[in-house]
Amino acid sequence: MADLFGSDTESDDDLNVETGGIVIYFSPSTSSYLSHYPHLSTSVNPTVSTYLSTPLSNDLALTRSLTVSLTHYEILNSPTLTTIINCSNTILAKGVCVLRGAADKCLVKSLGDAALKDLEIALENVRMYKNVDVTKGEDCSIGYKELSMREDYRCDIRTGPNLSHLHHSITSLQNDPTVNTIMTLACNSTDRGSRASNNLHLGNYGLHNFNGPGPLGPFLPLKTSTGCVVSLPGCGGQAVHSDTAHVLDEVHNRPHYINAFYNTSGSSSEGGRVDFEKGQTAFAVGSHRLEVCKVMTEGGDVGRRLMERNVVRPHVECGDIVMFDARVLHWGTENRWKGEDENDTEDMNIKRNEGWRGIFYVNYWREFFQDPKNWDERESVFD
């Protein structure tokens, strides 16, 4: 069959494990999800940790199709409008875009280090005062103003004493003109006044409300929030999920919520290496579209094959930016880090966060959208 991205599917003989591959891991907590989508698991019993190993012959081609690299001129100056539009169009078409080397490595690394230090303090406080050791997978239901648990061994920390000292750096990242422009163009119609446009935006008269600029005014600024998702050693793979729902389910619309991920490790100071044992983030390319996601998740050979053909794990380093429509299907892979010496008896508290994988994020969303999070605003983990 011709797939939903316009290219013909390959025969089974064309699939080649050596050119690329993906392993999708599911943790025991995903049993309810798997009961709705059993075709995503090879296990008869969805309550057991399961995996689906899928060879991808076009993994590299997919990665290239959603990657934008800077020219030498842009590295010395700033990304051009052509690159910005290219990134925006890639998000719209693929649901994911990787912009190579566009972020300040030192800034991102400093934010990642601060987040890990804050998480160390937070988890120690939880252990001391709640008698819960998150590093051993205990009680993933805890939540505070600054800390929430995504699942066992996977934490989300949005502030703390060390991150607070880097307020100006965080603001600088949030206000990055390149990323903000990419997100704004992706979230708003950009064909106003063009020959092909029917100028329907002129009928959006409610934009005058509350002293708004009206349909002829500038785009409203996107709202933002920041934090750092950290996976600890022992963290299992996430269930396939999207971060938000479609606003309408009859027709595909532009994104109203986009994430920017900044890998905080794998910098040049570490020899340019990224330790993939700590995990990666995988995406189902194109699944931000209703018609594609429907096929991928409804079961059957067609859905399975479409998912298999369009899964990608971008290999990103510190300085790269992964931008994705929050509706796209994605998941974090497991953290299998065990250190240099599994038999090392040294007190692990001394090098406790060595195997932690931190992804600093900036969320961007339209002014009408409310992003529910599992923060508990009543209690601080640092008090």
Going from the C-alpha of 36 to that of each of 46, 270, 284, 331, 345, the distances in angstroms are: 10, 42, 18, 17, 44
Answer yes or no: is 75 within a domain: yes
Range of the domain at 89: 57-189+220-337+349-365
pLDDT for position 160? 96
The pLDDT score that the predictor gives to residue 326 is 97
Tokens 């998000």, residue located: 91
Measured CA distances, 361 to 112, 157, 261, 323, 336 (Å): 10, 10, 5, 10, 22
Residue tagged 């505070």 (tokens): 144
Residue 278 lies in a domain: yes
Residues belonging to the chain: 383
Residues 6+ apart with CB under 8 A from 253: 246, 247
Total domains in the chain come to 1
Dihedral pair phi/psi, residue 23, rounded to 5°: -125, 120
Of residues 259, 188, 198, the one with CA closest to residue 229: 259
Residue 100's beta-bridge partner residues? 69
CATH number at residue 260: 2.60.120.620
Residue 205 domain-assigned (yes or no): no
pLDDT at 371 (0 to 100): 76
* Segment holding 362, helix H or strand E: strand 357-365
pLDDT digit string (tens) for the chain, length 383 residues? 333 443 333 333 332 222 233 333 333 333 333 333 344 433 322 222 233 444 445 677 888 899 999 999 999 999 999 999 999 999 999 999 999 999 999 999 999 999 999 999 999 999 998 899 998 888 777 889 999 988 889 999 999 999 999 999 999 999 999 999 999 999 987 766 555 567 777 888 888 898 888 888 888 899 999 999 999 999 988 889 999 999 998 889 999 999 999 999 754 444 445 667 888 899 999 999 999 999 999 888 899 889 888 999 888 899 999 999 999 999 999 999 887 654 443 444 445 678 899 999 999 999 889 877 767 788 999 98
In a domain, 45, yes or no: no
Distance CA 333, CA 331 (A): 6
Distances 7 to 250, 252, 295 between C-alpha atoms, Å? 25, 21, 16
Res 91: pLDDT: 97
Is residue 297, in this structure, part of any structural domain at all?
yes
pLDDT tens by residue, 289-307: 999 999 999 888 899 889 8
**Strand pairing report for 96-100 and 67-69:** parallel
* pLDDT tens digits along 141-162: 788 999 998 888 999 999 999 9
Would 50 be classed as within a structural domain?
A: no
- Residue 196 pLDDT: 52
Does the residue 318 lie in any domain? yes
Evaluate whether residue 150 is within a structural domain: yes
